[in-house]
Chain A
């Protein structure tokens, strides 16, 4: 069975500091990885997907199949980045609408 692990429940950094939110997964097939974010009093929303290899709001994430990781990084954190971040995995095939989520990491960026 697939699993997603986010080892840090809480992460605090100061504005302007680099930030890395860790995500590890276990799945024997070819995974699709996503980062979802939930800002205060807002809905859960997609931040980025590994397939598109894009940078969104300064965040990037690289899929490392050897280490089974998909860490989220930003070189200079901003206060507006404070939110709950979830790493999610989709196993492909017919599992289009099924996401397996990690437990989430609360990121707090201090001024």
Chain B
């Protein structure tokens, strides 16, 4: 099976803009989780979607949102970007208790 894919791989935005990141899970996986990875805070959970419903949410402001489509593909959106949003954003699809991670999207906010 193909692995988790994320698009785009790299993004450069300016403060105040918004951004949408996409994640395609492994075929057959219905759960998609998103994480933010930064040098200072490490890997932090953003949210999880399962069958188009948000199941869990991390401790991030409302500017961070997500959704999942009927084919299990997921998008996350960050509005009103801040410099501190610069990070690697990872998504993972899950089978049982194993999460399979994508390569990440590197977001740089200038």
Contacts and interface: CB of A to CB of B under 8 A. Distances in A.
A49 B48 CA distance: 20
Interface of A: 32, 34, 43-46, 49, 51, 86, 90, 94-104
B55 A86 contact: no
B26 interface: no
B92 interface: yes
B43 A97 contact: no
B31 interface: yes
Contact of B43 (A34, A45, A86, A95): A86
Contacts of B103: 43
Contact of A44 (B32, B55, B58, B90): B90
A100 B55 CA distance: 15
B: interface residue count bin: 20 to 34
A101 B43 contact: yes
Contacts of A86: 43
B56 A94 contact: yes
A91 to B, nearest CB: 10
A98 B34 CA distance: 9
Contacts of A46: 98-100
A104 B35 CA distance: 15
B42 A97 contact: no
